[in-house]
Each structure stands twice: as C-alpha cells, then as structure tokens.
Amino acid sequence: MIFKVLISDPLSEEGIQPLREADNIEVTVETNLSPEQLKEKIGQFDALLVRSQTKVTREIISSATNLKIIGRAGVGVDNIDLDAATEHGVIVVNAPDGNTNSAAEHTMAMLMSLARKIPQAYYALKHQKWDRKSHVGVELKNKTLGVVGLGRIGAEVAARAKGQRMKIIAYDPFLTEEKAEKMGIDYGTVEDVLRKADFITVHTPLLKETKHLINADAFKIMKDGVQIINCARGGIIDEDALYDAIVNKKVAGAALDVFEEEPAVNHKLLELPEVIATPHLGASTIEAQENVAIDVSDDVVNFLTGGLARNP
Ligand code: NAD
Ligand code: MLT
C-alpha cells in the first residue's frame, strides 16, 4: 500500500527526508493552494503536513475522506480545527520543541531592539536622517521582565533575560513558588506580573482562556511606560486595546511578531512609531525549520507504517 502525503506549506527539504526515504510513501509538495483547491484535492491524501499558513478548517477536514494524520511543523495547532479532526478520527501531531531556541532568541532580539529603538533608528538612517535625539533608549539592567506563560519558550526567555541582569517575574498556572525560586525568578499572579513589570512578554498558547488576556483592563494596571512583546500568538493581546494604550502614552512601545490576522499588512498598529514588528519570524531559522520538519515527518512515517506518533 502506498500512502499519499501532501505538504501544503513550505517546509525544510532536509527536514522532510524521512518522508522521501520511506518506501511506501509518496510525497506531494503544493504550497499556496487556495482553500477551495485544498478542499478539492485533500480527499486523495492519507496525511497532510502544514506550517501555519494553511488553515485546516472543519470544511477541509470533512472533505478529507482518506486523511489519517495532520502534522503541524511547529508548536501552535490553532490553525487546525482539533474538534473536527477528533470527530473524523484524524490524529494531529505537532513539533513542540524544535523551534523553542529560535523563538526565544527572536524574543530577545525584539526585546533589545525595542529597548534601544534599533528598527526606528535604522529606518531613519536609511532615509538619510542622522537623528540621535529621537532614539534614546532604556537599559534592560535592573528592569523587571514580566513573563506570562513560562513554558518552553517563556522559560528560555527568562533564563536569557537574567543574563541581561534583568529581574524576572512570571505567571504560569503550572509555576509554583518553589520552582520559581529554583529558577532564580519571582512568582506572581497574572496581576502581580502586569503591575510590576517594565517589559511584559507573553508566551502562552492561543486558547479560549488566553484570548485577549492582555486587554484594556490589563493595560490599566500596568506601569506607565511599560513595553510589550508578543512573539507567541496574535489574539493573546487585544490589538485595539494595545493601540489605545500606545496612543494614550500608557505603553511606551511594543514589539510584535504575530497578529490576530496574518498576513498583517496595512495594520493600524504598524502606523505607530512606537511599534516594531516582524512578519511571524520567531521560528524562521534554518535550524528550527529543519528540526520541526524532521519531528513531524518522523511522526507521520511512524504512524502511517504502523508505529506510534510521538507528539499527538
Ligand atoms: P508551551 O506549551 O511549552 O508553553 C506555554 C505555557 O503557557 C505553558 O507552560 C502553559 O501552562 C502556559 N499557559 C497556558 N495558559 C496560560 C494562562 N492563561 N496564563 C499564563 N500561562 C498560561 O509552548 P511554547 O513552545 O513555549 O510556545 C509558546 C507560544 O509561542 C505558543 O503560542 C506558540 O504557538 C508560540 N510560538 C510562536 C513562534 C513564532 O514563530 N513567533 C514560534 C514558536 C512558538
Ligand atoms: C509555531 O507555533 O511553531 C510558530 O508559530 C512557528 C511557525 O510555524 O511559524
């Protein structure tokens, strides 16, 4: 029996070698399919591999009459309708740790760029403006970094920020005071984190419970001049509330890698000089893309050939 695998987002060619090398697997790579085209084709395939561009909706899953497994080359599975997958008996696997390091490094790059206004200064200089006055930053040393969500990436960011001599306060439902002490950080409720931090970085998944976790009420209790980083998921921060908080000078700056709707072009937040941004690049390194593609490819090969997937 030959199993047919569709890869519908760009994945690392090195990373998908396990699929190409498997005897009974035929790989089709077709990126940029419209939802209608995907719906039409998906019935032929036993497995679907995606990154974050492909939205695997209920409609797609309902048309996927042969589909057995969906592999998400990355952490977040919020682009896949998990309820629909479960109802149709389709297993969903992800790659939970292959991009942790890259996402943590990107968060640190955003934190430091934000503190020192590097993108704004670069932009001015590229436009023939030698402007030193507008680009005075702040030091990270002795500032407090509030980490909301201390999972894989949050914990890596906390460890790196300690290297910048920052104080760390974190909230995560699974964090205990004892664990925080061992990590050399402070433990607090989400309100404690919001009240005490000079910089706040969010690292939760996007769930019903975390949607707009950082909203207008949350901004109210933060310090004046707080700076916000989101390299996790658009939607954790209420973008309208963030816009208002920046315009009202409550928030001094924000660094965003992710948006509620992507691609985010012509977004009103991008018009604000206080906002720096990247187009969802947290996991965009050669290493991370190879790691996550290998992880899901191995899982899909194992599953289709009768073994167990490691990351269901
Ligand atoms: P993880 O599962 O290891 O950690 C998430 C943590 O959030 C967990 O410890 C969990 O207990 C905590 N959490 C859940 N609900 C919470 C709440 N209400 N308040 C506070 N904490 C809560 O995941 P991770 O690998 O660290 O990924 C974190 C986020 O980063 C995810 O949203 C993921 O999709 C995203 N991500 C983005 C990029 C990117 O390219 N920008 C790359 C990788 C991951
Ligand atoms: C993830 O959830 O792993 C990230 O969003 C990375 C990505 O797939 O781009």
SS3 301: helix
Q: Whose CA is closest to atom 21 on ligand 1?
A: 149
Enter the DSSP assignment of 20. H
120 Cβ below 6 A of ligand 2: no
Check if 233 is active-site. yes
Ligand 1 closest atom vs CA 283 = 40
Distances in whole angstroms, Cα of residue 148 to Cα of each of 134, 154, 233, 245, 261: 30, 8, 12, 19, 22
143 token code pair: 């500032």
Q: Which of 203, 233, 239, 267 is catalytic?
A: 233
| Distance of CA 73 from the midpoint of ligand 2 (Å) | 7
Q: pTM (2 decimals)?
A: 0.97
pLDDT, residue 306, reads: 83
Check if 280 is active-site. yes
204 token code pair: 């939760």
Q: Are 69 and 93 in contact (CB under 8 A)?
A: yes
Residues with CB under 6 A from ligand 1: 75-76, 96, 99-100, 103, 148-154, 171-174, 203-206, 209-210, 213, 231-233, 257-258, 280, 282-283
Q: Are 215 and 236 in contact (CB under 8 A)?
A: no
The one-digit pLDDT tens for each residue of the chain (312 residues) are 999 999 999 999 999 999 999 999 999 999 999 999 999 999 999 999 999 999 999 999 999 999 999 999 999 999 999 999 999 999 999 999 999 999 999 999 999 999 999 999 999 999 999 999 999 999 999 999 999 999 999 999 999 999 999 999 999 999 999 999 999 999 999 999 999 999 999 999 999 999 999 999 999 999 999 999 999 999 999 999 999 999 999 999 999 999 999 999 999 999 999 999 999 999 999 999 999 999 999 999 999 998 766 766
Ligand 2 closest atom vs CA 52 = 8
Q: Provide the ipTM.
A: 0.99
